[in-house]
Structure 1
């Protein structure tokens, strides 16, 4: 949303790319991101809220009726000040949601092709994240007829940690509502192993000193991208990684098994933020990606090399 202050939102690369994809026949989903982790939420009725809604009115004409799904919010319980993850968070997002609903009714009509969801909830596997504000969030989702459901982001330390997300949201939605999973991964499992030593056979084969840490190999690949075979050999030499080889398949099976899944999406490519200042304290999002854009040399035709997950990702498209 802050990018709406930098010019016509329809010309912003994210919205332009989304609309071009829709024009080529792809289904599209847009999340409206409101980063308030450095400032307080504007109060309903304030001049600051009026400015936020005016910003929204610059964005909505570019996407309403074009995107198939619009998620109101991205990660509200992260993109907020910790002290304000209470009723103030709810009041802000409910005000925004009602404004979006009103705009859709007025400008897109009853047959509008854009469905609305509220998103997204994080770390519901932790009891302290199931707060009164999260409860009110789900109450608003359930009691607002124009909202189709809720988005979740199950970035988890174990595959089993996803189940509490579903156990929390499903009983709190009305019959017929569905959920999105626009992000999911084992990033917290990967992070626990960044300071593990790499396998001795891999170190010996590729000239790494004995005791070289996992994070150091990843940083080496960022600094000087590996051939595809070397990167795959690194990943498959890590038992903590290969033991989760069915994660993507199993998670999609779990979501679909509820009968309530609308859309699940998965991280497609590494990006610059994932690789910048890589260290053992860095969240290793780059291990999730379907394409290894930054840790593997491009293929001969200049396209990105596939990461470990490409086969599993493609298999889900055929299911």
Structure 2
């Protein structure tokens, strides 16, 4: 900590020199390739392209936003669902092996570009899945092929998406030897430098797309705070064009989230912000899957007294239950009821730091969450804002609301974050 603080003067001087030569790159993207800015320095979506404050963001881009997240499944979320949530920001990730010649047609990219046209704020993460093979060396043909795919995505999204995160979950989507040897850092630093150079070349007058380094996981575990994570944050801090880092606190208790902030914030420049494009208590829910359901719930719904939590969920997946029954299941389970305001409480804590850029939260129970559900499957579906696969659909065409989280998400939407979102 003390060594980190002693470096601030050097970092600040280094950053000022970089800004003097390249301020337009760090500012918000406008070129002949994209739609020009409006009279007050905002594009058609209301985003800041001049460095002035815009709706939902300060001079450095978005600030304190809570948006919706579809992860890898853009088809699982509809704009009508987002409208009912009052959401005005949307996030997803693009698996880079799926990128073909026209990246604008890749499912996640297409969804976010559609959202942009409807004036939503947008966040895109680049996912490089190398958890089953070594990462390419920086100057290898495999790296050149990877950067070619990156170029295709950049051509499609720069100056349209508001935030681009370089990497999705790199410390999960890589092999341990690559994390230990420095190959992980070398790969992502190469990608980041390439993105920065591409943006500078194609948008010399400034680009509205803000750049962040992708998400860090497991920072609540001391053994996961390694030389590689230190180097990740050092690169983030020392690269003027990078505006912060993303974190994914999937934790076993609300108190564990603070470890992420305590680790990340002192290691960044003071003006940098952080993303939280995923966060949840899924590890806490997981601990209770083999619990016996509460006796009052079992009696009320005629279940055997030894029925397990995972069995109730599996039955609801196979035969969705009335909304009152699903609510009773969660409300009568102390492990859930005591944390039903996790979303609300955590977003407030993120905002209280004054350095949150955008947080996003999962919208629906995606199909992958329900397939082959059993006692050892992580219950991601308990996080979702909609209970679309476990609860009978109400009238009106939209799925049932998730208990606790739906109402809190909607209540956390602030007037200053809203955009003039249009329906399709």
Aligned residue among 126, 137, 142 for 2:237:
142
In structure 1, what is the equivalent of residue 336 of structure 2? 241
**Aligned positions, number:** 318
In structure 2, what is the equivalent of residue 88 of structure 1? 183
Cα distance in 2 for partners of 1:157, 1:166 equals 16
In structure 2, what is the equivalent of residue 76 of structure 1? 170
Cα distance in 2 for partners of 1:14, 1:207 equals 43
Cα distance in 2 for partners of 1:8, 1:213 equals 48
Cα distance in 2 for partners of 1:47, 1:111 equals 31
Q: Deviations over 1:129-183 (max 9, x none)?
A: 1000000000000000000000000111111001110010111001210000101
In structure 2, what is the equivalent of residue 128 of structure 1? 223
Offset at residue 111 of structure 1 (A)? 1.9
Cα distance in 2 for partners of 1:294, 1:141 equals 39
Cα distance in 1 for partners of 2:377, 2:221 equals 21
Q: Structure 1: give runs of 5+ residues left out of the alignment.
A: none
* RMSD, matched Cα: 1.1
What SS class does the counterpart of residue 378 from structure 2 fall into?
coil
TM-score when scaled to structure 2? 0.74
Offset at residue 186 of structure 1 (A)? 0.5
What SS class does the counterpart of residue 28 from structure 1 fall into?
strand
What SS class does the counterpart of residue 305 from structure 1 fall into?
coil
Identify which range, 304-313 or 131-140, moves more after superposition. 304-313
Structure ranking higher on relative contact order (CA contacts 8 Å, 6+ apart): 2
In structure 2, what is the equivalent of residue 117 of structure 1? 212
In structure 2, what is the equivalent of residue 301 of structure 1? 396
In structure 2, what is the equivalent of residue 28 of structure 1? 122
Cα distance in 1 for partners of 2:395, 2:344 equals 30
Are 1:314 and 2:410 counterparts?
yes
Cα distance in 2 for partners of 1:56, 1:247 equals 36
Residues 1:110 and 1:165: Cα distance change in structure 2 (over 3 Å): farther
In structure 2, what is the equivalent of residue 202 of structure 1? 297
In structure 2, what is the equivalent of residue 58 of structure 1? 152
Cα distance in 1 for partners of 2:169, 2:347 equals 21
Offset at residue 83 of structure 1 (A)? 2.1
In structure 2, what is the equivalent of residue 18 of structure 1? 112
In structure 1, what is the equivalent of residue 265 of structure 2? 170
Cα distance in 2 for partners of 1:206, 1:21 equals 42
What SS class does the counterpart of residue 265 from structure 1 fall into?
strand
Cα distance in 1 for partners of 2:215, 2:243 equals 13
Cα distance in 2 for partners of 1:78, 1:226 equals 35
What SS class does the counterpart of residue 361 from structure 2 fall into?
coil
Offset at residue 8 of structure 1 (A)? 2.1
Cα distance in 2 for partners of 1:257, 1:318 equals 14
Cα distance in 2 for partners of 1:127, 1:61 equals 39
Cα distance in 2 for partners of 1:224, 1:92 equals 46
What SS class does the counterpart of residue 54 from structure 1 fall into?
helix
In structure 1, what is the equivalent of residue 346 of structure 2? 251
Offset at residue 233 of structure 1 (A)? 1.1
Cα distance in 2 for partners of 1:143, 1:110 equals 23
TM-score when scaled to structure 1? 0.97
Cα distance in 1 for partners of 2:146, 2:201 equals 19
